[in-house]
A and B are shown apart, each in its own frame.
Chain A
Amino acid sequence: MSETHAQTVSFVRDTMLPPTPPPMGERGAVKWMRENLFSTPLNVALTLLGLLSIYALISAALPWWLNSVWVAESLSECREIVAASAGEGATGACWAMIRERWHQFLFGFYPPAEWWRPILALGLLLAALAPVLFAGQKRNLTVVLGAVAIYLLVTLSLAATPGTAFGLAMVLILGMLGLAQVQPGKLLWFTVLYPALCFWLLWGGSIWSPIVAMAGFGVLYAVFRLASPFIGLAPAAGAGVVAAVLWWLYIDIPVVNALQIAMPFGLQSINSDQFGGFLLAIVIGVTGITFSLPIGILLALGRQSDMLIVKTLSVGFIEFVRGVPLITLLFTASLLLQYFLPPGTNFDIILRVIILVTFFAAAYLAEVIRGGLAALPRGQYEAADALGLDYWRAQRLIILPQALKVSIPAIVSTFIGLFKDTTLVAFVGLMDPLKGVTQIVRADIDWKGIYWEPYIFVGAIFFIICFGMSRYSMYLEQKLKTDHR
């Protein structure tokens, strides 16, 4: 039949029809609204209901925001101002409290004259993170370091920084900015040294203690290099660790004291109980995040290991830590840990909390990373083996880059969880921004009864930081996407 058809009807198009726009009702906002908001009677009803509830929410909350008071001495003064301007019975936010007490939310009881130190530490933290987060990307590095330079210039001058410190900080950050243009890879050295610098800036004391403590790592490396030709890599690493621990236990303090006498230089010591607010949350959160990732990776690999002892220890650690609430661990940190340590050792409470928060996050991360490892096809392991790569090289070059890439969303979720969990340190008497500082503010006779404002303020800052982490993880996923499926 088709043959006859082909012969009887012959049609050849000689001009192609030009494309025409779709009809009015089928494009743009009209189409979108018709399809998404008003497609069925039920949808129309739900849309109207939704609009009504949004209106109810806004009309209830808007006056409170619009009547905000920014300058007042106390909550009662706030209320008087609101009553005077918006009439009796009107509500209004009292942001004057934030204006008066912002420093406690940020620094806790850190002495005002030394505020420049956490400010500088935060700026340098961003500068130290940039080479890790944007490895080798000159443009992003320049933007971050430039922003840090401007931030430091403004905040340090506002915080009445001593001239020398201000000058040194600017020289440092501008030097890094310059280095980023020439050899961005070298910036990682600053990242390596930053923990010691940060520790010294925040807690103060002799400049020699961070230097001598860092020298412990030098001892570790030197022993490792000297011993490895004779006793093999793993025993040499063990010997290095032992030497470094001995260094920190027995040599560290006398050397610091001697150097301090010979060349006295230091910052005023600040006690851990003066830390509070976001300073505390960020110190715990950032340290926890930094150290939990490598520990989590090792635990995940340990759990997959063929070696019985390594495997048992990893599984035991992960299951125990995951099975216990974080608060239990924090109580352990604040109370029990002292019993297990030699009498007389004064083990800093923030340090103890950091260690347990790190372990807690590491156990979660280990499971997240194990998921990533399990997602890799067996062929990847076999190909790495067949090329003659040994275990650690195969892990580092082939397996982990892929496993970590798969687990980025879950890893960042764990990090965000960790950061928000830092507020739980309130339970061991540390001054976290949410409960600790807010309670102090609300205990003040001037601000008694203030309720929404501190929580909104703290919540907003937490949101900005966590949202930033989430956006970065999305950027990273996009950047590492190479499968082109």
Chain B
Amino acid sequence: MADAAKMQITDEIAIQITSMNKWYGQFHVLRDINITVQRGERIVICGPSGSGKSTLIRCINRLEEHQQGQIIVDGTELTNDLKNIDKVRSEVGMVFQHFNLFPHLTILENLTLAPIWVRKVPKKEAEETAMYFLKKVKIPEQANKYPGQLSGGQQQRVAIARSLCMKPRIMLFDEPTSALDPEMIKEVLDTMIQLAEEGMTMLCVTHEMGFAQAVANRVIFMDQGQIVEQNEPKEFFSNPKSDRTKLFLSQILGH
């Protein structure tokens, strides 16, 4: 696990964000964001609440619209063109803070829905894939239950499996452990670490600094809608450059 950080990073560019700006009305939420993500890279984005980190990764699959600059995901530029948006969304998996499973469908149906309707995979094949990923997140026995019957940690693992069923090339995590009890955080983090070890390109907004140290190649620190500092995790934690980063780290690691 320690050497996970130096695994399969390629020269291929997965995500390219160039001088991107976003406003909510008059409020300038994201200011001049420039990020290049190589395929296989695992990036942790942290920062105080309201710093725009969730908004940033939600821009990557166009859950939020940016007003200026350029976002290119897997060679497809995100514009108002719905075809491009759907193409990007089917290549990019997303895991939410509140899981957002579909409560009216069973776990298996949650997992097979998008492959069947978006990828046009035959039902039987989709179910096999779904079971494969459920085994991977270690809850195959829950396949026929409804989301409401599962614990928070199990629901989040189902949500990860649901994204994986679309065979995404990039995974986005929006504070995946923030709504969980401490006991359940570990099971979700284990799943994410396993995913990282397999070389998935990951962007993860999280406050789990242990996770950042274990798997990230790069940590991005944001404040007030700007990237304040980005560095390798070791350097970032042991030798932060900006005062704002130092303050943040002392606050979250201080106790």
Interface residues of A (CB under 8 A from B): 377, 379-380, 382-383, 385-390, 393, 397-398, 401-402, 405, 480, 482-485
C-alpha spacing A483/B117, complex, angstroms: 24
| Given known A379-B98, A484-B148, contact A388–B103 (CB-CB < 8 A) | no
| Interface 9-mer from B2-10, B88-96, B190-198, B232-240 | B88-96
Shortest Cβ distance from residue A477 to the other chain B in the assembled complex, whole angstroms: 13
C-alpha spacing A379/B93, complex, angstroms: 15
| Given known A387-B113, A390-B86, contact A485–B148 (CB-CB < 8 A) | yes
6 nearest CB pairs, A to B: A388-B90, A383-B100, A379-B100, A387-B114, A386-B94, A388-B89
Majority SS at the chain A contact face: helix
A-B contact pairs, 18 of them (CB 8 A): A379-B100, A380-B102, A382-B100, A383-B101, A385-B61, A385-B62, A385-B63, A386-B93, A388-B86, A388-B89, A388-B118, A389-B118, A390-B82, A393-B118, A397-B113, A480-B104, A482-B103, A483-B103
Q: Is A405 a contact of B86 with CB atoms below 8 Å?
A: no
C-alpha spacing A75/B245, complex, angstroms: 96
B89 contact from A380, A385, A405, Cβ within 8 A: A385
Any A CB within 8 A of the CB of B166: yes
Any A CB within 8 A of the CB of B250: no
Any A CB within 8 A of the CB of B19: no
Q: Is A383 a contact of B96 with CB atoms below 8 Å?
A: yes
Q: Which residue of B lies closest to A380 (CB)?
A: B100
| Given known A380-B100, A388-B90, contact A483–B148 (CB-CB < 8 A) | yes
C-alpha spacing A484/B98, complex, angstroms: 17
Interface residues of B in 63-119 (CB under 8 A from A): 63, 82, 86-87, 89-90, 92-94, 96, 98-104, 113-114, 117-118
Shortest Cβ distance from residue A404 to the other chain B in the assembled complex, whole angstroms: 10
Find chain B residues with CB under 8 A from A385 CB.
61-63, 89
| Given known A379-B100, A397-B113, A480-B104, contact A386–B148 (CB-CB < 8 A) | no
Q: Which residue of B lies closest to A482 (CB)?
A: B146
A387 contact from B82, B99, B118, Cβ within 8 A: B118
Any A CB within 8 A of the CB of B149: yes
Q: Is A405 a contact of B104 with CB atoms below 8 Å?
A: yes
Q: Is A482 a contact of B118 with CB atoms below 8 Å?
A: no
Q: Is A389 a contact of B117 with CB atoms below 8 Å?
A: yes
Q: Which residue of A lies closest to B98 (CB)?
A: A379
C-alpha spacing A75/B102, complex, angstroms: 63
Interface centre among A387, A390, A483 (most CB of B within 10 A): A387
Find chain A residues with CB under 8 A from B118 CB.
387-389, 393
Q: Which residue of B lies closest to A384 (CB)?
A: B102
Find chain A residues with CB under 8 A from B163 CB.
386-387
C-alpha spacing A398/B96, complex, angstroms: 17
Q: Is B86 a contact of A482 with CB atoms below 8 Å?
A: no
Find chain A residues with CB under 8 A from B61 CB.
385-386
Find chain A residues with CB under 8 A from B102 CB.
380, 383, 398, 402
Find chain B residues with CB under 8 A from A386 CB.
61, 63, 89, 92-94, 96, 163
Q: Which residue of B lies closest to A383 (CB)?
A: B100
C-alpha spacing A380/B102, complex, angstroms: 7
Find chain B residues with CB under 8 A from A390 CB.
82, 86
Q: Mark B124-149, 1 if CB is under 8 A from A, else 0.
A: 00000000000000000000001011
Find chain A residues with CB under 8 A from B148 CB.
482-485
C-alpha spacing A373/B63, complex, angstroms: 19
Find chain B residues with CB under 8 A from A401 CB.
104
Q: Is A379 a contact of B96 with CB atoms below 8 Å?
A: yes
Shortest Cβ distance from residue A18 to the other chain B in the assembled complex, whole angstroms: 35
| Given known A380-B102, A386-B61, contact A397–B94 (CB-CB < 8 A) | no
Q: Is A482 a contact of B104 with CB atoms below 8 Å?
A: yes
Q: Is A388 a contact of B114 with CB atoms below 8 Å?
A: yes
Shortest Cβ distance from residue B138 to the other chain A in the assembled complex, whole angstroms: 22
Given contacts A482-B104, A482-B148, list 11 more A-B pairs with CB under 8 A: A377-B100, A380-B102, A385-B63, A386-B96, A387-B162, A388-B89, A393-B118, A398-B113, A482-B103, A484-B148, A485-B148
Q: Is A393 a contact of B146 with CB atoms below 8 Å?
A: no
B117 contact from A382, A397, A405, Cβ within 8 A: A397
Q: Is A389 a contact of B146 with CB atoms below 8 Å?
A: no
Find chain A residues with CB under 8 A from B94 CB.
383, 386
Find chain A residues with CB under 8 A from B86 CB.
388, 390
Find chain A residues with CB under 8 A from B146 CB.
482-484
Find chain A residues with CB under 8 A from B62 CB.
385
Find chain A residues with CB under 8 A from B103 CB.
402, 482-483
Shortest Cβ distance from residue B245 to the other chain A in the assembled complex, whole angstroms: 30
Q: Is B166 a contact of A388 with CB atoms below 8 Å?
A: yes
Shortest Cβ distance from residue B89 to the other chain A in the assembled complex, whole angstroms: 4
| Given known A386-B89, A482-B148, A484-B148, contact A393–B117 (CB-CB < 8 A) | yes
Q: Is A402 a contact of B117 with CB atoms below 8 Å?
A: no
Shortest Cβ distance from residue B200 to the other chain A in the assembled complex, whole angstroms: 16
C-alpha spacing A402/B86, complex, angstroms: 23
Shortest Cβ distance from residue B140 to the other chain A in the assembled complex, whole angstroms: 20
Q: Which residue of B lies closest to A390 (CB)?
A: B86
